[in-house]
Amino acid sequence: MSKNVVILFGTESGNAEFAAEDMAAVITDRKVQVFDMSDFSSENFESTNLYILICSTHGEGDLPSGAVPLYESMKSLKPDLSDIEYAIFGLGDSSYENYSRGSEHFDALLTSLGASRIGEYGRHDAQTGTLPNECAVTWTQEIIAQS
């Protein structure tokens, strides 16, 4: 049976949330829930779900503020995520030095906690003048088809 999907977004100016809503809307064959990372706790991961993370980059390659509490709590509580699958989509702007680094912090942490990433690493570059929605939706459809 295919897993339910939980989309976690980490945002500063709302682009990741905006895209997360469109991503959820195209997943029609199973249950989807969308959470702001700041409303999600590191104890909530369940192996019956596929986690899709979408997260922007701020400061100098840092996490957006809404993602920091979850990141910090995962880092200190070190939950065992060896039966967790996730896919990840990073938002950034290639005019900055640390392009798309925000999501990579999560990717590294999830991997170190034993979780396994599925599919391509998704990216959106704000330097294109577009919002991530369109390419995040296409990417989501590919991830869902693979999982």
Ligand X SMILES: Cc1cc2nc3c(=O)[nH]c(=O)nc-3n(C[C@H](O)[C@H](O)[C@H](O)COP(=O)(O)O)c2cc1C
- Judged by the rule CB under 6 A, the positions of this chain that interact with ligand X are 11-16, 56-61, 64, 91-93, 96, 98-101, 126
Q: Name which of other proteins, ligand X, none residue 65 binds, using a CB cut-off of 5 to 8 Å depending on partner kind.
A: other proteins
Q: How many CB atoms lie within 10 A of CB 71?
A: 18
Does 127 participate in binding other proteins (rule CB under 8 A)? yes
- Shortest gap between Cβ of 93 and other proteins (angstroms)? 4
Please choose, out of 10-18, 46-54, 72-80, 137-145, the segment that lies near other proteins by the rule CB under 8 A: 10-18
Closer residue to ligand X in complex, CB, 14/114: 14
Largest Cα span, the chain: 43
Closer residue to other proteins in complex, CB, 42/56: 56
